[in-house]
Amino acid sequence: MEKINIAIDGPASSGKSTVAKILAKDYGFIYTDTGAMYRSVTYLAIKHGVAFSDAKSLVNLIHQYPITFKQTEEGQLVFIDGEDVSQAIRQPDVTNNVSEVSAHELVRKELVKQQQIIAENGGVVMDGRDIGTAVLPNAQVKIFLVASVLERAQRRYKENQTKGIQTDFETLKAEIEKRDYIDSHREVSPLKQAKDAVLIDTTGKSIEDVVATIKTVVKDKG
C-alpha cells in the first residue's frame, strides 16, 4: 500500500476515530487523533490554572509540556510530559471547554505545525475538524463524516457508560450541539467539508459499512 495521507473530518461523535483507527491498522499507517491534542491543552489549562481565554499562556503550556502518542494493543494512549492522560482528557470538564481553547489562532498554529510534521512522510490517517481544509490540504483522500445529532448523542452516551462516565442523555446531546456550533462558527479553520472531500452519512450505518465505503474511495483515489 502506497503511503498516502487520509484526512477524516466531521462533527463530534460522527465515528471518525473509530473508523480512522481501523483504517490505520488495516493499512499499517499511523493514526493521529488531533482532537486529543486540543483536549490535552485544555487539560493542561485546568491543571495549571490557565484561563481558556489566555491564548499566549496556552501556547506556553504547549511548549512546556510535550504531547505524545503511544500505539498499544489496546489502542492509542496520550501522554503529556510522560503522564498518561488518555482517560483524563475525555472527562466532561475537558470536553465542555475544549472548543474555547481550540478557537485560538495561536493555539491552532502550534498544534497544526506538529500535525503536519507527523504527516510529512505520508502513511497517516488523521482525524479532526480541519484536516482536509487546513492541516493536510494535499491529502490524497479526504472524508467528511456526518450523522444525525440523535445518533451521535446515543453513541457518545453508550461510550461514556462503558467508560464509567456518568452523563444525562439530554445534557450530552445539548453539549454535542453546542460544541459543533462553536467548532463550525469560529473564525480560524472552522469545521467545514473540504471541496474535494467525500461526504459519508453514517446514520444507521455499521462501522464495517463505513470502513468499506472509505476503502473504496481509497482504491479509487489513492
Give me the residues that bind ligand C5P (CB under 6 A), please: 12, 34-35, 38-39, 98-99, 102, 128-131, 179, 183
CB nearer to ligand C5P: give 176 or 214. Answer: 176
Cβ contacts of 92 within 8 Å, gap of 6 or more: 165, 167, 175
Shortest reach from residue 17's CB to ligand C5P, in Å? 7
CB nearer to ligand C5P: give 60 or 97. Answer: 97
Cβ contacts of 87 within 8 Å, gap of 6 or more: 163
CB nearer to ligand C5P: give 100 or 201. Answer: 100
Shortest reach from residue 219's CB to ligand C5P, in Å? 26
CB nearer to ligand C5P: give 27 or 35. Answer: 35
Cβ contacts of 73 within 8 Å, gap of 6 or more: none
| Torsion of the alpha carbons at 162, 213, 114 and 184, rounded to the nearest 10 | -80
Shortest reach from residue 152's CB to ligand C5P, in Å? 10
Burial of 15-29, coded b for 16+ CB within 10 Å and e otherwise, reads bbbbbbbbbbeebeb
CB nearer to ligand C5P: give 184 or 203. Answer: 184
β-strand partners of 9:
128, 144
Q: Where are the beta strands (DSSP E) in the chain?
A: 5-9, 30-33, 67-72, 75-80, 83-84, 124-128, 141-146, 198-201
Q: How far apart are alpha carbons 195 and 58 in whole angstroms? A: 31
Shortest reach from residue 45's CB to ligand C5P, in Å? 13
Shortest reach from residue 191's CB to ligand C5P, in Å? 7
Q: Cβ distance 67 to 78 under 8 Å?
A: yes
CB nearer to ligand C5P: give 35 or 147. Answer: 35
Shortest reach from residue 155's CB to ligand C5P, in Å? 12
Q: How far apart are alpha carbons 177 and 99 in whole angstroms? A: 12
